[in-house]
Structure 1
Amino acid sequence: MACGLASGGERWPAPPSLSRPPMDPRTTMAPSSLLLSVILCSLCAVALGGNAHNFVVVQRNSFESTERACSSVTRETVLAGTTLSDAGVRIPTSLGDAVDSLEYVVTLGIGTPSVQQTVLIDTGSDLSWVQCKPCNSSECYPQKDPLFDSNSSSTYATIPCGIDACKQLVHDFYNHGCTNGTGPSLCQYGIQYGDGSVTTGLYSTETLTLAPGVTISNFSFGCGRNQTGPNDKYDGLLGLGGAPESLVSQVAEQYGDAFSYCLPPGNGTAGFLALGTPGNNTASFVFAPMHKLAHISTFYVVTLAGISVGGKQLNIPPAVLSKGMIIDSGTVITGLQLTAYSALRSAFRSAMSAYPLLPPNVDLELDTCYNFTGHSNVTVPKVSLTFSGGATIDLDVPSGVLLQDCLAFTGGTYDNSIGIIGNVNQRTFEVLFDTGRGNVGFRPGAC
C-alpha cells in the first residue's frame, strides 16, 4: 500500500549469535528506543519564507500533501532517471512508498537475464542480499516483487567454503558456517540487524546491473533463504558500508573510493545514488573529517562539535559527543546522546511554544509532538549541526526536522557513547563519502 505503515529501526548489523566479539558497538550503541515504527510519507512541505534567517515559515496544508505526491515516483520513473557520467554511474533513489517503507530504495537488476529488484540502501552494513527461491511464508517475509530465482540465471554461482571470500565473512561478523549436506560444502552468511531482523542464506556471486549496459560481474551477495523480523516489502538490501563485502568496495577499481547520495524529502521527486567522485565540482560542499571505528570497517563516523536551534548554540559539553555519530542511511531517526537530546528538546520546545504539545507518540517513540490544528502556517526553527573542523549544515525545514509533526530526534544513546545520524536528517543533502580523502561532504538542496 502506498504511503502505509513502515518500520524504521536501525539497519546496521548486530549479530550477537553470529561470531561477534564482546562490546561490539553494533549491540552497544543504541537501546531499543531507536526501534521505531513510523508512518511513510509524513511530510511534504514548501518553505515559504524566513524569520531572521533562523526560522522557516511553512504552509500547514503542505504537511499533508505527501500522500497525494509520493505515489508519483514509480519504478519506471526511477529507471528512466539512471544516468552515466565520466565520474561513474548515478542511480535514482526514492522513498520506499512502493514497498511500504520509510527507508530509501534503489531498483537494480540481478542475474542473467537481468531481473529487477528494489533494495534498501544502507551505509550501516556491507553485505548485499535479496530473498531467493525457494522461500515460503515461514522462511521469508512478504515482498512486493517476485522472489529472485537463481536457477533461472546463467551467471549465478555459489561460493565454496575455505576460499578467502568466505573466510573474510568471519572477520567481518557475517559468517554463518558451511552447509553440511552430501554435496560440496558451501559458504553461508548470517546477519542480525539492530532492529532485530535476521537474514541467512548462501553467499553467492551474480551479475549485477546498475544501469542499461553497466554491469558488475561476479558480484558477491547473499541469496537469502531465511528472513525473520520487522521487514518492509523491499526485495533485499544494498550494503554501502566500508568492508570488503560492500558494493562500494567491490566496485572501487571501476569507480574509485568515493560515493554519494541524495535522499529526497518525500514530495514525489527522485534523489540519486552516485558511484564515483564528483571530480573538482565540490565548491558547494562543506566537509567534515571522517573516521572509522577500531577493528570495524563498516561505519562512517563524524564528530559533532555542536547543535544550534533557531540560531542559538546549545550548551552541550564536548565530552558528551566525543565518540562520534555514525551516518546511516538505513536508520530513520537520529539517536543523540541523552544530554545532547535533552538540550535539543528543551530549546526546540521553547522555540515552538506557540503550538500546543501533544502526548508522546508511542508508535513513533518520539516525545516532542505538536498540534497544529487551526494554523495555516507553522514557524519552525532551523536546526543546525556543526562538525569537528567547523563545517555546519542547516537541516531541511520541515522534512529534515519534523516527522509526523514530531521532532525527528530521540535520546538514543548514553553520554560519551556513539550515536547515529538517521536518514530523515539527511534529506535533500548530497552526502559524499570520500574515504580516500577521509571526509564526508554535505551539499544542500541537491534533490
Structure 2
Amino acid sequence: MAALIFLLLLYSSKNSYAFQEKMSTLETEGLRHSHVFQISSLLPSTVCNSSTKVMNRKSSLEVVHKHGPCFQSSQDRAKVPSHAEILSQDQSRVDSIHSSLYMNSMEEMDAVTLPTKIGISVGTGNYLVTVSFGTPGKKYALIFDTGSHFTWTQCEPCAGFCHDQVEPIFDPSKSRSYANVSCRAATCNQISAEGMQQDCSSSTCVYGISYGDSSSSAGFLAKEKLTISRSDVFPGYLFGCGQQNQFRKGNRVAGLIGLARGKFSFVAQTARKYKKIFSHCLPSDDSLTGYLTFGGTKLPKTIKFTPMSKSFQNTLFYGLDIIGINVGGQRVPIKSSVFTTAGAIIDSGTVITRLPPTAYAQLKSSFQKYMTSYPRAPALSILDTCYDFSRSDVIIAPTIGIVFNGGVEVDIDFSGIFYIRNESQACLAFAANKDANDVAIFGNVQQKTYEVVYDDVKGRIGFAPGGCN
C-alpha cells in the first residue's frame, strides 16, 4: 500500500509539473498577443525629444505634432482645443472625405451635370514639417496631408486676412525667385479642373480653396523656389500665396503641403526626382519627432507591401483593401463583404480609424472580452469604449492587427490602441462609420511608429514596424 501511495504521489507530482509547464506556455502565448505597459507612458510630456533618425536620412524632413512641445511653447499649448473639439474636428474631416468620394462617384455616373466639389476638411491637421520658400529662403511650418493636393502659405501684404502663425509671414516682395502666374497661362486654367475656384486680378491668376470644416485659403497662384534640403531644391514650384486665409482653432501654422494625387500636389511636381515615392513615420508620443522622407532609396528590410486599391485610382486618395482584423492574435469573425462594400483609404489627416459599423461592433466586442478587469469610463465624443485605469499601475491589453490584401498585417503599436484623455478615461481609438456604404479610413493614431511607404508608380503601400522610435 505504501508503495502504491508513493507511486500515485510521484505520478501526481509529475503531472503537476506538466500542468505548470503547460500553464506557463499558455501565459507566454497570451502575453505574446498582449501589450503590457504603464499608463504613464501614454500621457503627454512637456519636453521635446528629437529623434536622430531624420538626421541620418537623405531627402527628409522632421515631423512634429502641432500641439506638442517640439513646436509650441507651454503658453501656446494651453490654448489647444479640448479632446472633444479635436474629435469633433476629426469627424468633420471624415464627413467631408465621405462627401467628396460620394460626389466623385456621382461625377463618374453623370458626365453632363457635374455637382460642386467639396474640399476635404483640414480637421485637426496634427503633423507638421518645415520647408523653405524663396530666395533667400525662409522657413515655414506646414501641415502635411495625404488627403490634400495643393500647397499654400500665408503671404504679405495679407490683403484680406491672415491668421496668427509662429513664423513671420512670407513676403514675396523680398524674394528674388517669386513670380505670379498669368491668367493666360495653361496652369491657371488647371485650377478649376483640380476642384478649386479660379479667378483673375489684374491679369494675375487667383485661386480659392475651401475645406469641409470652414477652413480656406485664397490668393495668387505663383511659382517659387521650394527647398527641402541643400540637395533637394525645386525652382518654379507651383503654390498658393494666400491673401485671405482661415484655419480652425489651434492652428498656428503657415499653411499646408499636399501629398495626395493631383496636378498641383507635391508628389506630382517632384515626380522626376522622387519617382512618386514618399514615406512617413509618426511618433508614438506628441513630445517625440518623426520624419517625412521623399524617394525610395533606403527602404527598410522589414517592410511589407500591400497593393493600393484600384477603387480609388481616380481620386485624390490612396486606397487599401482590408481583409480582416485580429484581436489578441485571433481573427475577429467579420464577413469579407463588410470591408469590400465601400473599401478603405489611408489618411495622414484623420486621427481615429473609422470602420464599417458591423466591423467596429465585432472589434469592440472582441476587445471588451480582454478588458473585463478594468472598470468602464464614460464615452468621449465619438469614442464609446472607454476605461478607467486610475487604479492600475500596469495595463495589459490585447494586440490589434489590421490585415490588408496579401496577408500584410499591421500590428498596431500600443500607443495607437488607446486615445487618452487622462488616466480615468482611456478609449479604444477606433470608431464606427455612420453607414455601411461609407469608406473606411486608416487613421494616423493607428499608423504611429510605422514607416508607411507610398509608391504611387508601382501602386503599393508598405509598412515597416519600429520606424521612428
One of 311, 316, 319 as aligned partner of 1:301: 319
- Which of 161, 178, 196 lines up with 1:156 in the alignment? 178
> Does structure 1 residue 230 correspond to structure 2 residue 248?
yes
Separation (CA, whole Å) in 2 of partners of 1:237 and 1:332 = 17
Q: Which amino acid aligns with 1:52?
A: L
- Relative contact order (alpha carbons < 8 A, sep ≥ 6): 1 or 2 greater? 1
Partner of 1:56: 35
- Deviation string 1:393-420 (CA, Å, 9 cap, x unpaired) is 10101x1111112111111342133121
User: Offset at 1:267?
Assistant: 5.8
In the alignment, is residue 93 of structure 1 matched against residue 63 of structure 2? yes
Indicate conservation of the 8 Å contact 1:50/1:57, yes or no.
no
2:128 to 96, 105, 111: 105
Distance 1:346 1:331 in 2: 24
CA contact (8 A) 1:305 1:386 kept: yes
Structure 1 length-normalised TM:
0.80
Q: Does 1:419 align with 2:440?
A: yes
Q: Please report how far the alpha carbon of residue 126 of structure 1 lies from its aligned counterpart in structure 2 after TM superposition.
A: 0.8
Query: Alignment RMSD, CA only?
Result: 2.3
CA distance 1:91–1:347, change in 2 (3 Å): same
- What is the CA-CA distance between 1:141 and the residue it aligns to? 2.5
Q: Is the helix fraction higher in 1 or 2?
A: 2
User: Aligned residue for 1:18?
Assistant: none
Q: 1:249 is matched with which residue? A: 268
Q: Distance in 1 between matches of 2:311 and 2:256?
A: 23
- Scaled by the length of structure 2, the TM-score of the pair is 0.76
Is the aligned partner of 1:330 residue 2:349?
yes
User: Hey, what's the Cα distance between the residues in 1 that align with 2:157 and 2:29?
Assistant: 55
Pairing partner for 1:203 from 216, 221, 232: 221
Correspondence list, 1:66-85, <5 A: 66-69=44-47, 71-73=48-50, 81-82=54-55, 85=58
Structure 2: runs of 5 or more not aligned: 1-27, 78-123, 421-425
Aligned length: 381
Aligned to 1:275: 294
1:59 maps to amino acid = Q
Q: Secondary structure of the residue that 2:46 maps to in structure 1?
A: helix
Aligned pairs (5 A) from 1:373-392: 373-392=390-409
Identity of aligned residues (%): 34
1:85-112 deviations in whole A, cap 9, x for unaligned?
4xxx122212222255771111111111
- Report Cα offsets for 1:283-329 as digits up to 9, x if no partner: 31111110355674411000110111112212222222113221111
Query: Which segments of 5 or more consecutive residues in structure 1 lack a partner in the other structure?
Result: 1-48
- Does residue 142 in structure 1 map to residue 142 in structure 2? no
Deviations 1:37-86 (A, max 9, x none): xxxxxxxxxxxx9843111110122222x3234x344xxx89x955564x
Report the Cα distance in structure 2 between the residues aligned to 1:318 and 1:416, rounded to whole angstroms. 14
Q: Aligned equivalents of 2:125 and 2:193: distance in 1? A: 31
**Correspondence for 2:336 among 300, 315, 318:** 318
Q: Distance in 1 between matches of 2:238 and 2:453?
A: 24
Name the larger-Rg structure.
2
CA gap of 1:272–1:348, structure 2 versus 1, over 3 A, is same
Tell me: CA distance 1:412–1:225, structure 2 relative to 1, closer, same or farther (3 Å): farther
Matched residue SS, 1:173 = coil
In structure 1, C-alpha distance between the alignment counterparts of 2:449 and 2:128, rounded to whole Å: 15
Runs (4+) off by over 6 Å = none
Q: Aligned equivalents of 1:376 and 1:294: distance in 2?
A: 44
